[in-house]
Amino acid sequence: MRSFSVAHTQHRAHANCGFLPGIDVAPLFAKHEQTLLQGPRHLIKQTTLGSAVETRGIGLHTAVPVHVRLVPAPPDTGYVFRRTDLGGFEIPATVESVAHCGYATTLMRTGVMLSTVEHLLAALRGLGVDNAFIEVDNLEIPIMDGSAEDFAQIIERAGIVEQPLARRALLVREKVSYEQGNRRISVEPADTYQIDCLIDFSHPMIGVQSLFVELNNGAFSRDIAAARTFGFTNEIEALRKANLIRGGSLDNAIVLTPEGMLNETALRFRDEFVRHKILDIIGDLALLGMPILGKVVAERSGHIMHAGLMSKLLRVRSAWDIVDM
């Protein structure tokens, strides 16, 4: 299977999180002729990994041991997961594959699922890898230390190589917003991929935090990759009763008590919490299959909000074009 992006999808794309209908994108992604540059063209090329690379860990929610191997892939492949425990069954990392998006983003194809994909996808997109096969031998991507740093390190170890074809981007033409109560996320025109994120938690270590990031010049590795996921002690019992966070520990999450945190190690950034929310946005929006040329503005968002924005954006055909970078 070489379906990778909205540009090559010839079936139904949807954020199947129990609140949005499927949308038919087949007529939306016909072959395009637009480019960003006028006159002489100096196109950015697609990239893949320089070599295969692997790591292992446990699933945050399932606690199962998992082996992950990243493999170079041809141009126009995008990100395709392969369940090696199921004969190499392929699940493309696309919007249409989203099955659940509560405490993690879960993909599904014909009943086969793969959970907690967002941190690995964030590392691939954040480091500028366009095409990769991701072999995994269980039903959840390992949580590692709760950030994307381990994935970023193995990608950097593999190296990133250019490919013959031009990189495509989703160029935002009009602002599109998605809201639920006091939670909102939007994307609007901009010359580069930008994220402006605000979070608001009534906790003494968080409160209101905001951060603006422009995803270029190594910003992901420097400012975002090491930010860890976080949770609250008063949620643990309910999550475990729901068969979630069975692999959670102080080694792979910041665990917050009402007054502080259980972890003995210090925060990696003063505002690590908002940085991790940006990491999640990058990982979830990687399911569009290409980088965004636009500014994402998020206030109190989460996985469900990210899926809602992608689905709405794809329905508003006047709001974007697919261009060669």
Q: Cβ(187)–Cβ(175) under 8 Å?
A: yes
Length of the chain: 325
Q: Cβ(226)–Cβ(276) under 8 Å?
A: no
Distances in Å between the Cα of 162 and the Cα atoms of 48, 74, 153, 222, 256 are 7, 11, 19, 22, 42
**Active site residue ranges:** 303
Which pair of tokens denotes residue 130? 């366009």
**From CA 136, how far away is CA 175, in angstroms rounded?**
37
Q: Cβ(274)–Cβ(211) under 8 Å?
A: yes
**From CA 85, how far away is CA 139, in angstroms rounded?**
9
**From CA 293, how far away is CA 56, in angstroms rounded?**
33
**From CA 251, how far away is CA 174, in angstroms rounded?**
42
